[in-house]
Chains A and B, each alone.
Chain A
Amino acid sequence: MHRIFLAIFLFLAGISNLAQSADFSVISAGVQPKMVKVYGAGGIRGLEGYQSGFLISDQGHILTVWSYVLDTDYITVTLDDGRKFEGEIVGADPRLEVAVLKIDTEGLEHFKLGDSVGVNPGARILAFSNLFKIATGDEPNSVLHGIVAATTPLNARRGAFKTTYKGTVYILDAITNNPGAAGGALTTRKGELAGLLGKELRNSQNGTWLNYAMPINELIPAIEDIIAGKTRPRSFDDDVIRPDVPHTLKTLGVRMVPDVLSKTPPFVDSVTASSEAEKKGLRPDDLILYINDRRVDSCATLRSELELIDQIDDVTLVIQRGDDLVEIILQGE
């Protein structure tokens, strides 16, 4: 009994110590200018049309999660001071479920990705997000506090959680992952960037909700690629070099759905028998997300990207099949 009291005492003393050493109100005030509110598609029952994000460059780059909210031509980004901007998607990595937006302004306060830190279990953290869309205009994002309960690969529970992210996550003891919280910032108690709050995940086996964040360090290479334009379709550039004999959908044995919209989603309609595509397992209804690491958002983009790949080179497709991401490599000739 004596020892239990002592342990409780030490535990309380630990809290008090932290309370004294970190003035969260100052930390919060420092982080808030870097936070943004993201509004896009959704708004119908169960699908909130909003999420969170934060600035990661002085060029107006914003890190957020890749979700249906961004599946629109009109993304609105509201800064901490209430100013509104149209957000343009620079790129996304559906495998990590992250996206980078850009707004047309410079010199804003932002998190420097290079300064972000890793955190260990037991570390006290703050979570900034616009959960439940509580803040509008120039109102500051909500702040929750907690500790990192564990660091663990999410795929340890593969099947339980429907997500394509397979990396390590921070499991948190605060209820950070509420509607709209996705894209929020996880910081240390000093306000250093440590993670990105992920989308809401519910365990399909026991119905519990997971409170977690993706470590920024796991995301940095992908973010840098996105910002560097490496995921941008090459066909968007003027000075691109075209091969004499490129791949075509026909030679690969793929037929896409009829291209009737300005941005027809690149769904596979059918696969030619005994073609390369069939051999490698491409199927009707597969949605093509990436071709050679470049994002494809329409049938038109897919065609123009193919024109840039020499027939002797391999074609790597990332496709979405149901809730899974599948990578398929079609060999060149």
Chain B
Amino acid sequence: MTNPSKIITLAVLLSCLPLPALRAQELIVPDDVLASQAQRIAAINKASASTVMVFANGGKGGGSGVLISPDGYALSNYHVVQPAGTAMKCAINDGKLYDAILVSIDPVGDVALIKLLGRDDFPYAKLEDSDKVRVGDWCFAVGNPFLLATDFNPTVTYGIVSGVHRYQYPAGTLLEYADCIQTDASINPGNSGGPLFNEKGDLIGINGRGSFEKRGRVNVGVGYAISINQIKHFMGFLRSGRILDHATLGATVSTDENGNVVVTNIAESSDAYRRGLRYGDQLLSFGGRNISTVNGFKNVLGIYPRGSRVPISFLHEGDRIDTFVRLTGVHSPEELLARIQPNRQQPEGEPMPEGQPDPPAPKEPSPQLPDIVKPFFTARRGFANYHFNKLNQDRIWDTYIDQTKPESITGDWTLRGQLGNLGDVSIVLSKTRVDAELPQGKAFAVLDNDLGQQEAPRGSGGLLVALHLWKHIQQTGIGQFGDVYYLGSMPTPKQDEKQDVLVATHSVIECRFYFSPSTGLLTSMEMYPDLGVDPCEIYFSEYESVNGRMLPRHLEVIHGDTVYGELLLKDFEFNSNGGTE
């Protein structure tokens, strides 16, 4: 498989044998051998159907990709897609060439999501659990090495998994390959962005890098694939049309003389610091994996996008602390934009070697988009393709207001109920003020003052302002609230199902609204009065239909590590249309 000339040599050799001898051989092929062969052929056929051959710049450049959904979403490498601009031509082995549009990029992880247009029944690959891949497993790469697949039939190269959980340093570049899969299946220029499959033909990684040195830029038996599990962490973000960043803990670690991984530096502004992580603390587990080496830690950190909230366990002064920590971006958004600006060139589709300078740049400004692609692209600074962001914003918001119909209740809101078993609560949300009567006493927020300074009631992190913004975005809609964008979908500490996240900034207050994709309802919000402080978190549940409007009966309020309280709402009074609901 890996070497056609070998097959031909063997074929020639065997064809020189007397025919009767061959016939005899034909008869003794054991059934399990035939079954095994049939299995392999089936796996290759299945895998080849979902493999995409990317052709860019009029066929002079390109690489590979793989379809992951019937409506045409496909994964590739950032360094393959970037030189192509926003639109490219993609072939699959049905013999057809499709137009494709860029959706999102992850320049640090070297991943891009594109969408092939023109079908809603594309063949697509099944995403395997790549943490189950073991060294020595058979695997095969399918793709477009040396852009050979001008007949739209991809090249298949077979090999074994040579290593798992490999960490490949950025070496001064933006790219970092963390937790990747190493294979001896031939990965050559043009294989980049293409799929690595297990022996069943299910997707375990995206090929994109190799170790090269003095032997030229061709396979030397060491190729790397981005693990599909890493991409799964980013998948919810890759549909957002954004330029994604990787994450940092805000702390550095190293191995001490006892072989423990300990904190050697920590930023006081980091969430990790607020969660109690300090210099000298021993890291036990991160992202659900035990941490025994620095590379192990970097591997886990490298597979999460900026903004993730990840479980962490550490030893602080002998006490074990298990908590969740928010990860900030490796780069500032401006820095990331600057780093991916066109400034250097590299032949397209080549696996990135170690120590490669910054990824490639388009040779020339993108030509006019083909007409079929135009409706799928909206340019906006900071986004790879804003069209897909807006698409998701509208999808989430329309589903939500369809159930809650908040826009018809434009006046003051009054919420009545109880705060846990402490006593009665009444909160009046008007245009200019929020007034609350709580078991602890009265509290208020004045809305024409600086919202970030008002943390009432004490210990809640700004519950009244948060409730105001909750009401406000429902009344104005996402169009009028302020700057709103779709972050993507991500798990939260309270929900296993990935939640769709809208980030909405009103004056300078950033809010994150989490929606359940299955119900379409708001499950939580976070209100950040300021950067570098804990948000006020509200978890909404026990939705009930009241006069045809879905309303939450249960609000849990959390600030930092403490639960402020549970609001059990008995009734909602909306002024504009009168009456109590």
The answer to whether B36 and A20 touch across the interface, beta carbons within 8 angstroms, is yes
Q: Does any Cβ of B come within 8 Å of A131's Cβ? A: yes
B130 to chain A, nearest CB (A): 14
For the complex, what is the distance from the CA of A169 to the CA of B295, rounded to whole Å? 36
Chain B residues in 8 Å Cβ range of A240: none
Given contacts A139-B295, A145-B159, A174-B221, contact A12 B135 (CB under 8 A): no
The answer to whether B136 and A174 touch across the interface, beta carbons within 8 angstroms, is no
The answer to whether B184 and A12 touch across the interface, beta carbons within 8 angstroms, is no
Q: Which of A1-60 contact B (CB under 8 A)?
A: 3-4, 6-13, 15-17, 19-20, 23-29, 32, 46
Binds A, one of B10-18, B72-80, B304-312, B359-367: B10-18
Chain A residues in 8 Å Cβ range of B215: 209
Q: Which of B7-41 contact A (CB under 8 A)?
A: 7-8, 10-11, 13-15, 19, 22, 25-26, 29-30, 32-34, 36-37, 39-41
Q: Does any Cβ of B come within 8 Å of A140's Cβ? A: yes
The answer to whether B37 and A137 touch across the interface, beta carbons within 8 angstroms, is no
Closest to A173 in B: B3
The answer to whether A11 and B135 touch across the interface, beta carbons within 8 angstroms, is no
For the complex, what is the distance from the CA of A137 to the CA of B295, rounded to whole Å? 9
Chain A residues in 8 Å Cβ range of B13: 7
- Residue in contact with A143 in the complex, picked from B22, B34, B135, B168, CB distance below 8 Å: B135
Given contacts A137-B293, A140-B135, contact A16 B221 (CB under 8 A): no
The answer to whether A19 and B163 touch across the interface, beta carbons within 8 angstroms, is no
Closest to A145 in B: B160
Closest to A19 in B: B138
Q: Does any Cβ of B come within 8 Å of A136's Cβ? A: yes
Given contacts A7-B14, A82-B293, A132-B211, contact A140 B136 (CB under 8 A): no
Q: Which of A89-140 contact B (CB under 8 A)?
A: 126, 131-132, 134-140
Chain A residues in 8 Å Cβ range of B34: 13
Closest to A178 in B: B220
Chain A interface residue count, CB cutoff 8 Å, equals 48
A7 to chain B, nearest CB (A): 4
Chain B interface residue count, CB cutoff 8 Å, equals 53
B376 to chain A, nearest CB (A): 40
Given contacts A10-B25, A19-B36, A137-B293, contact A176 B221 (CB under 8 A): yes
For the complex, what is the distance from the CA of A46 to the CA of B163, rounded to whole Å? 24
Q: Which of B150-198 contact A (CB under 8 A)?
A: 159-163, 165-166, 168, 182, 184
For the complex, what is the distance from the CA of A286 to the CA of B382, rounded to whole Å? 66
A193 to chain B, nearest CB (A): 17
Q: Does any Cβ of B come within 8 Å of A245's Cβ? A: no
**A23, A25, A174 interface centre (most CB from chain B within 10 Å):** A25
The answer to whether B163 and A24 touch across the interface, beta carbons within 8 angstroms, is no
The answer to whether A175 and B32 touch across the interface, beta carbons within 8 angstroms, is no
- Residue in contact with B29 in the complex, picked from A13, A15, A26, A32, CB distance below 8 Å: A13
- Residue in contact with B134 in the complex, picked from A6, A25, A176, CB distance below 8 Å: A25
Q: Does any Cβ of B come within 8 Å of A179's Cβ? A: yes
Q: Which of B393-432 contact A (CB under 8 A)?
A: none
The answer to whether B36 and A142 touch across the interface, beta carbons within 8 angstroms, is no
For the complex, what is the distance from the CA of A75 to the CA of B318, rounded to whole Å? 36
The answer to whether B160 and A142 touch across the interface, beta carbons within 8 angstroms, is no
The answer to whether B293 and A144 touch across the interface, beta carbons within 8 angstroms, is no
The answer to whether A175 and B138 touch across the interface, beta carbons within 8 angstroms, is no
Per-residue contact bits, chain B 218-257, to A (CB 8 Å; 1 contact, 0 not): 0111100000000000000000000000000000000000
Q: Does any Cβ of A come within 8 Å of B337's Cβ? A: no
Chain B residues in 8 Å Cβ range of A137: 293, 295
Given contacts A7-B10, A175-B221, contact A23 B160 (CB under 8 A): no
Q: Does any Cβ of A come within 8 Å of B199's Cβ? A: yes
Given contacts A7-B10, A143-B163, contact A16 B36 (CB under 8 A): yes
The answer to whether A139 and B163 touch across the interface, beta carbons within 8 angstroms, is yes
- Residue in contact with B219 in the complex, picked from A19, A25, A126, A175, CB distance below 8 Å: A175
Chain B residues in 8 Å Cβ range of A10: 14, 25, 29
Chain B residues in 8 Å Cβ range of A173: 3, 6
Q: Does any Cβ of A come within 8 Å of B292's Cβ? A: yes
A318 to chain B, nearest CB (A): 31
The contact sample of 29 A-B pairs, CB cut-off 8 A, is A3-B14, A4-B8, A4-B11, A4-B15, A6-B14, A6-B26, A7-B11, A7-B15, A10-B25, A16-B36, A16-B40, A19-B138, A23-B136, A24-B137, A24-B160, A28-B136, A29-B134, A29-B135, A132-B211, A134-B163, A136-B295, A137-B293, A137-B295, A142-B222, A144-B162, A144-B184, A144-B221, A178-B213, A209-B215
**Would you list the 9 A-B pairs with minimal beta carbon distance, nearest first?**
A24-B136, A175-B221, A16-B36, A25-B136, A7-B11, A25-B134, A28-B136, A7-B14, A3-B15
11 new A-B pairs (CB below 8 Å) besides A19-B36, A134-B211, A178-B221? Answer: A7-B11, A7-B14, A11-B10, A19-B40, A24-B160, A25-B161, A26-B136, A28-B136, A143-B162, A173-B6, A174-B184
